[in-house]
Each structure stands twice: as structure tokens, then as C-alpha cells.
Structure 1
């Protein structure tokens, strides 16, 4: 993909030209500072890549290179097939993928070798043990079969050379959903029918999940020293309902579900939706963090969705005691496919879609160690955004309509006239704006940045035409 390296070269050339021109009163662009390579994450540093995961595994060397370029550091997929045909066969846990047609041990070892973390999804019920005839997404008739499968998985993959620590219990188990579905997509029970209109609510959906599936599996995971990731509460289930069942005390298990959860997990919420969970369960325990193991999907038809989500997620994490690299993770669903909104387009060769390119730009532009920006942004009309520090740079993600726009930055400690540089980078392509499109002035009142948003915005077709870009403020030595 020659164009990705080409835009970095042009940005460096632009910086050199501006420096040669002696731009002082209008602060000149600094592209080189914004394109630092992402270094390996230390436990004391927070990096954008620590937040970014994807569903599936990269499998090939070429795919791994693409994951690294997009900054993806977590993968998630299934483990099985367990005992698919009868209780007399051995428990098999060496396959992964929707059809259990990929070698799981090889995938995990390869992930480990390339700095990619692995989350194993535990599920589902063998059809011969299903409470709904032939339905692998229904509760088990004999829960000891489920426990035998979980024990085999955890015992196998928590040991070297795999060293997995995070195990997710089931996927999107819930009862009646707010959208009108009487039963959840991945958790079926009494009154379920394949014809949606004939199904009726599964009244004991969550009690059965807590008592037959979640707590028995969580006890096994913790017995071996692993971490329990909740099974992805669906956004249609509602947070109030999630909280209700997290705090449900089972008379059978003698415990609440939240007492057996290390990482809360939801699907497809906006970043602000994570705050109630943080405040209730993470700020003072008992949970270790908040994850979303599925985000994106059709939301990514808006090309601004993914870069805005992860930038906001990073700002949010920095404001919510991001003191461990595993505390906050969100995983894109799905990283490949044939739909134009996926990260990559499946083929030979595989290519990037717009959403994947936007992650590459994010990874390059915000690739340093992250810190909170404790200053203030004051935008003019028809512009908004957020800021954080990436290494020595201040990066402002701005969304604005076409035309001349402004932002004033206050609280830039140590800023000195003649030593600041400002660049405006297209958030989807990585292209730098022409130097004539941006000017900045440093005064006792702060740094005032004037920037011109092009008429051909990169978010056309999704509401009012708007452009997404990064203003990168760098300080030269």
C-alpha cells in the first residue's frame, strides 16, 4: 500500500519547507512529530493500541502485519468443539472459528509471538445436551457437560506455551430484549421457536444463565488463576436490566453474578454508556475493568464512527483511572469481510476499507504514550472536538462543517512562540492539509488555531456534511 508511506514523506517535506520559510507568527506545521512509530507498550504507559481489539484471529503473516498497522492488539474467537456428537467422545478444544475449522493452538502461539493478546470465548451447548431440541444456543440439560468443557479449555490454555488469562463466558445471554425480541439471539430456552413470531419469553432466562452457565464456569476460571470476562451484554438488553442481573443473588449458587465477574462487557454502546458501570463496579471494585467485545458492525457505515469512538474511548479511559493496560478494551466486529464498512476486504490480496485506513491514521497520529490534556478547548461555530497528549504532542480530534473554523487552546504548559508546530491531518486518509489552510497564534490567552475545512468533506452522506481531522500541536526542541 504505497500511499500510506507516501503521505508521511509529503508531511515531512511540508514541515521542512515551512521551517525554511521561517514561519513564526503563524505557528508552522509539524508532521514528523505526528508520525512516530508505535513502540512496545510498557505497563507504566498507556497507548491507543491497548484499547483496540478485533473479533477473529489474524492467522497469516500478512494479516498480522495489517493488524499491527491498524494498532489491533487483542483478538477474540471461539474454542471447541467440545463434545459435539455424544457424551462418550473426548472433549476437543483445539479448534476455533465459527465452524471450528482453524487450528487454535497455532493461532494463539502466533498471536503471542506477535504481541497480540487472545480472549477465548467459551460456548455453546452440544445439540445432544440442549434443553431446546437441537439448539446449541440453549441452556444445557446436564450442566456437568458444560463444566467439563470449560475445565478442559481453561486447564489447557492457561498453561504454557499459551498463557491465556482472559476467558469470556458465553455471548449475549439475556431475556426479552427492548427491541421486541422475546428471547436473546444467543440464549434460548422454554418457549423458543425458530420462527421469530412464534417465540414467547423465556421467563427464567437469566436465572438459568447465572446458575447453569456463568457462575459454574467462573469458578473454574478463577480456580486456575484466570480472569472472567462477562459474556457480552447486548445493547438492546438495557443497562438497568444488566445491573439487575449482575446483582441478582442466586439461592442455588449462593452468590451474585457480579462477585464472579472480573471484566464487565457490553456490546455496541457509546463510550459514555460505560460510565455508570465504571462508577458502580470498577471505581471501588469488585470488577477490574470495562470492555466491549463487539463494537462497530453497521455503525461503521459512518466513516467517522470508528476513529471518533476510539479517540473518545482513550480520552474517557484517561479520565477514569486507566492504571492497567488491560482495564479498558473494545473489539471491532468484524475485522474482515465483503461489506465495504469492515476494516478490510477479504480477497487475495486483502485490502483496507475506509474504516481500516482510519485506524492506521489514528495509530500513526496518536502513537505516543497517552496522557490527559488538562487544558481547555473553545471551538468556534460548527466545530467540536476532544484532545489528549500523545508523547510530546497535543492532538485535537475535530469534527467540523466546511469553511473557516477556529479553536482556542488554553493550558498548554511550556508553550513558547516560534517552537510550536501545527498540522491538520485528514482522519480517514492521513493526508495533511495544505499549509495555507491552517494558521496559529500564541498569546497570553492561549493558542488560537484557524483552520479551513474543505468543501469535499470526508463524512458526506451521514447527516450534515462534516469533516473529521486531527490538529497536531508539536513543540520543537
Structure 2
């Protein structure tokens, strides 16, 4: 997939819990016995895993790439399918290639994904030049909708059947009209007044109606006829959520149907987790949609080394409190997993592929939060220089914290004093996975609360020059 949008203008907000001033409680060094705490023991694990949330654009290639995906917890891939009928309606239908130029073989990638337990999302798009309403523009609506339908039907018929058995298909990419960010037309959905200049292009007045009637509902009907699921085409973050809801609820005067009723998974791009909540409350909590995805996150946001681990930990905490009853209900896919820029997940070499900081941070997250997940509802009280959140991972409590240098603390309320079971605490660098020295972290009980005190290094791992923070995990082993 090509990407011409200027991502540097995307919002940088990351939802982090506000720091709450803490109180000082005397501490004992080293390990302390913790009880098996009936209120913690009684919480049943839900079976969800952090890797279920994590996907990537593109496909893993060599077996060594697959192993890196596994280490990072990537369980989904996303890619294009085509080229369809490139030169005219009499062409043979070609749907065996992928990538923006359709120069890579798709079928081996899908079969490899299946063998390795990686799910695949196919992106359906775009319009062949010979069928474009804007001459030569593949990002414009088709003149002949039947040609679009032939392409969609060929893809879904082939890849929903054995040996591929795919069930998720995405319709187009970032189709929108006038954007709340100021652009008159979206990058991937062009109308008759598109002239290639974002400053002089006039608005695409029929953007919504043409997309719903000529692209989305015709394709969605085909997808569902094969008992597969419709993934919306990824709403751009510059589009604005109010605008997105207008699109979702738009009822075609021709088809007499809403687009929303032909969407199984609502999909946005590059939004912070907090922005997803209004979509959940309005469209997922009681239907009609089955879940919320973001099929593109990351990109230049990953210049901030805290971005990905904060995003996915926050996403997990959010999902656990919003009826995460299906492993495919909530998914976010990194754009992109390989490349030459230092912020990508991996550097493709030569001589060999290696992890960049962002990729290593996913390895650490996947290794640290590697158990069945459950929501953690106990109150957390941080020192003024700390913020964070927590969840259960198997028998551990994992807190992700962002903190100033020096000694800091977090108090966990409403826990009974220790009884017989041993537990230990670790303070782990979220980017490297390095655990601090035993003397740099301690825990103690007092008056029914657990207090953890930890020493944040002077050389923090954050990139913010004005107010750098250290990102780490506090892991309470064996307390649940």
C-alpha cells in the first residue's frame, strides 16, 4: 500500500492515567511474602492474550521473519490483493499478487500465515484506470460498478474457501470527503474536482453517496454472501469522529440502506485509544458492529520510543473493561513492520534483519505480559512524578509506569496483608527488557495496602527533550 499522507500532522496524544500524589510508607528491602489474596484468586482469567491485539501491515516472509513476528506478538497481517483486470474488462481476472505495485506473490504469503497461526486481512481496492470516473485515477469511483463487483467476488470466493479460509475483508482505504483537518478531499477517495493539489482541489460533494452506493454496500453484500466479515476501510484520523459517524449512519437514497448496517468491524487509523471509546459506546456495546479495529497505527509516531508499548498496554487495559469476549474483537496493526527508517519495527538489512527500538519494545511487552489477561480494578496511587495503569497477566500483576528519575512509589489499595505465599517484584525497562538490580525495587504492606518503591535511572529511555520520562513495567510475580 502506498502512503502519501503527511503523518507528522497526526495527533500525538497518548492516553496515560493522571498521576496522583502518593504518601510515603516505610519499606523493607528485597522480597516479601504475599498472601494468595482471595479477592485476587477468585478472579477467573478470561483467556485473552496481548498478542491478539497486535497486527502489522505487510506479510512475514522468510521463516526468520515469522520468528520475529512471534517474538513481537504480531498475530495479524494486512495487505492488498490484485491487480484485478488491469487493462480492460476483457482481461483475465488476476488476484494472486500483493503490495502497492502488485509485484509480490500473495498466495504463498497467505498459506505461510495460516501455517504459522497468523491471521490475514485482505484490502479490496482500487479502481483500474480504464474504469475510473476521474480519468486515470485509481482512487476514484468506478464507472462500471459491475466491474468492481466482479473483482470483489473473485477475491472473496477464492480466499474464503480452502486452503485459505479467510473470513475478514476490508473495503477500500481511508475513503472520506471533506476532512475536519482541512483537506477538501481525502487522499484515497477522489472526486471529479481532484487536481492533485490539496490547496486548490475542490470538495468532492458526492463523496459519501458515491462511496456507499458504488463501493461499500455492493462489496459488503458479496462479502457477507460468503459468510465472511466486513471491515470498514479505515477512517483517517484527520477526518474527525463526528464526521465519521455521519458517514457510518448515512442512508443511501438510492439503496435505502445505511452503511453502518453493512459494517462488522469499525476501523480507524492513527487514533489514541481514548478516542475509540465513543465508537464503542455508540456502535459496539449493544451493536450493530462486532468490534473496533485500527488497521494502521504507528508510522512516524514510532519516533517516540514509548508510543507502541504505551499504545498496546493502554489498548489491553481498555479492551478488558469493554467486554473483550472474542479474540478478534479488538485489533490494531502497525504501519509498518520493516523498512530502512530507524523507527520501523525492524531494519531489513543488509546483512540481516534486526530489531529497531520500536520492535524490541514489542518483544519486551509480549514477554512481560505473556499470560491470560484480566482487568485489574484495585486503586493505584502514584507519586507526583509517576503515571500508569495495570492488568493481570496470568498469576502476575503488571503495571506500566512512566516516571521521573529517582526513587518513586506506587500504592495499591484494598489488598489484604500477606499471609503465606511468596511473591517477588521486578522493575523492567520497557524498551530493553533489562531488570533493575534487586536493591532498586522493594515492596511492603501496611494497613491493607501494598506499596512498591522503585529507583528510576537518571538516564531515562524517553525521547521528549522537554520532560523526558522512563517507561517501565513493575511486575508482581505470583500474586493472583
TM-score (norm 2): 0.90
Unaligned runs of 5+ in 2: 1-26, 34-44
Shift of 1:26: 3.3
Residues 29 and 435 in structure 1, CA contact (< 8 A), matched pair in contact too:
no
The separation in 2 between residues aligned to 1:227 and 1:301, in whole angstroms, is: 34
**Structure with larger RCO (C-alpha < 8 A, sep 6+):** 2
The separation in 2 between residues aligned to 1:242 and 1:27, in whole angstroms, is: 52
**Cα deviation per residue 1:84-103 (whole Å; 9 max; x = unaligned)?**
11110111111111111111
- 2:162 — aligned with what? 160
The separation in 1 between residues aligned to 2:418 and 2:326, in whole angstroms, is: 30
- 2:456 corresponds to which of 430, 453, 462: 453
Instruction: Give the length in aligned residue pairs.
Output: 442
Computed over aligned residues only, the root mean square deviation of the Cα atoms, in angstroms, reads 1.7
Alignment of 1:48-447 (within 5 A): 48-348=50-350, 349-412=352-415, 415-416=418-419, 419-447=422-450
Shift of 1:313: 0.2
Flag the 1:452–1:44 CA change in 2: closer, same or farther, 3 A.
Answer: closer
TM-score (norm 1): 0.90
**Cα deviation per residue 1:407-432 (whole Å; 9 max; x = unaligned)?**
00124468546712100000000000
Residues 165 and 226 in structure 1, CA contact (< 8 A), matched pair in contact too:
yes
Runs of 4+ residues over 3 Å off in structure 1: 24-27, 411-418, 460-463
Which is worse superposed, 174-183 or 299-308?
174-183
**Cα deviation per residue 1:423-460 (whole Å; 9 max; x = unaligned)?**
00000000001111111102333111111111100003
Q: Aligned with 1:228: secondary structure?
A: strand
Flag the 1:217–1:380 CA change in 2: closer, same or farther, 3 A.
Answer: same
Q: Aligned with 1:274: secondary structure?
A: helix
Which is worse superposed, 304-313 or 196-205?
196-205
**Cα deviation per residue 1:252-275 (whole Å; 9 max; x = unaligned)?**
111100000000000001001110
Residues 27 and 441 in structure 1, CA contact (< 8 A), matched pair in contact too:
no
**Cα deviation per residue 1:202-221 (whole Å; 9 max; x = unaligned)?**
11111100110000000000
Residues 375 and 391 in structure 2, CA contact (< 8 A), matched pair in contact too:
yes
The separation in 1 between residues aligned to 2:375 and 2:182, in whole angstroms, is: 41
Unaligned runs of 5+ in 1: 1-23, 31-42
Flag the 1:176–1:403 CA change in 2: closer, same or farther, 3 A.
Answer: same
The separation in 2 between residues aligned to 1:52 and 1:171, in whole angstroms, is: 19
Flag the 1:271–1:476 CA change in 2: closer, same or farther, 3 A.
Answer: closer
Q: Aligned with 2:107: secondary structure?
A: helix
The separation in 2 between residues aligned to 1:271 and 1:283, in whole angstroms, is: 16
Shift of 1:28: 2.3
**Cα deviation per residue 1:340-359 (whole Å; 9 max; x = unaligned)?**
11100121301100000000
